[in-house]
Amino acid sequence: KEFEQILLNKAESQMRQKNFSEALATYQRILEIEPENFGALRGLVDVSYRLGRLQKLKERYAEKKDRESIARQYIRIYIQTYEIDAETDMSSRISTIFEVIADLEELRSKDSQRVHIHQTLGWLYYQMSYWRELFQSLEGYGNFMSYKWDIVAGFFGYPEPNWLELGVDSFLTAYFLAEPGSVEKSYLAENLVQVCFRLENYEKALEYYTRRIASINQIPTRELFLEALLYENGGYSASRVGEFELAESLQRRAVELWKAVGDQHRVGRSLDRLALTLKLTGKYQQALAVWQEVWEVNRLLKDQENIVKVILNIAEVHISLQQYGEAVDALDLLEKDSAG
């Protein structure tokens, strides 16, 4: 078991480095040792997708066999999760998620002690919550974008469950079933940061962030943007519970990571949150310097709405410092930017 965990960690690092052929070989090696290793089987699906070989893998597992193992049934269902993102029609996407949930819930009834079943269900519930809320928001505007809510409502039936709460329950169950120090435990802490953040339970989000970051060197996130998002959410959560020193540290790291990712929108947002933290802790000059950087990013993005917000923040800090001339100069930029 320990050797297999070492190999799983190695495969995850290879996935992060985008060495997909090497990761495939590592997952296959694990499966030679333990053919029904859930982590390696799921990794095999993930890396097959990256290598453009998912259809071939799907064909291999498509045929149902008598007295089929739980692992084989799980992989066939897990492959279906990739079909969800391929759906461009929202109602079809929701229907596909619902069908996969039904299949996986049936499998859970056969074996309720499998970490991966609970984790995948948690992800599916989370997806259902997201798309269901988005669909409902379209209904609220009276614009269904050609989607018919009454069809979907009939599909679900009433009352509809709280999908997000179901997601939290599944992630928590999986987290407590997972082995300490395992890849699964680390990724589940990531999942729990995300759902707690969405629920605005910032104290819990920060708690799971701390647990996840403890293993970040041994078990990195699969993508750099996921690490950046982890630090961004952790920093915001820390600021919301009054841990401003920690928030500043995490937000600075988030900015570095988003710059490395190359996502200027996220760079601007993370800088803006950092500047607010600095302002709240009385570091006004540093806040001004950071907001100046935010202003430059938003000018580059031609984001007029956020340009206005940044200039107002800069003016407010100058007023706090009784620098009224500088505040007026900042407000003058509004007219110049609008003219530009």
- Scan for tokens 């940044």, then name that residue: 310
Q: pTM for the full model?
A: 0.83
Cβ neighbours for 257, distance < 8 A, ≥ 6 positions apart: 224, 225, 227, 228, 231
Helical spans, DSSP H, in the chain: 2-16, 20-33, 38-50, 54-62, 70-86, 90-110, 115-140, 149-156, 163-177, 183-198, 202-213, 224-240, 244-261, 264-280, 284-301, 304-320, 324-339
**DSSP per-residue letters across 269-305:** HHHHHHHHHHHHTT-HHHHHHHHHHHHHHHHHHT-HH
pLDDT for 95 equals 87
Q: What would the two tokens of residue 297 be?
A: 């990013």
Instruction: Tell me which DSSP letter residue 36 carries.
Output: T
Tens digits of residue pLDDT in 13-47: 999 899 999 999 999 999 999 999 999 999 999 99
Q: Decide: 45 and 78 in contact? Cβ < 8 Å.
A: yes
Give the pLDDT of the chain (340 residues) as one tens digit per residue: 788 889 998 998 999 899 999 999 999 999 999 999 999 999 999 999 999 999 999 998 887 777 789 999 999 999 999 988 888 888 888 889 999 999 999 999 999 999 999 999 999 999 999 888 887 777 543 444 344 444 444 444 545 788 999 999 999 999 999 999 888 999 999 999 999 999 999 999 999 999 999 999 888 898 999 999 999 999 999 999 999 999 999 999 999 999 999 999 999 999 999 999 999 999 999 999 999 999 999 989 988 888 889 989 999 999 988 888 888 888 887 766 554 5
pLDDT for 338 equals 54
CA geometry: angle at 132 spanning 163 and 208, to 5°?
Answer: 45
For residue 180, is the peptide bond before it cis, meaning its omega torsion is within 30 degrees of 0?
Answer: no
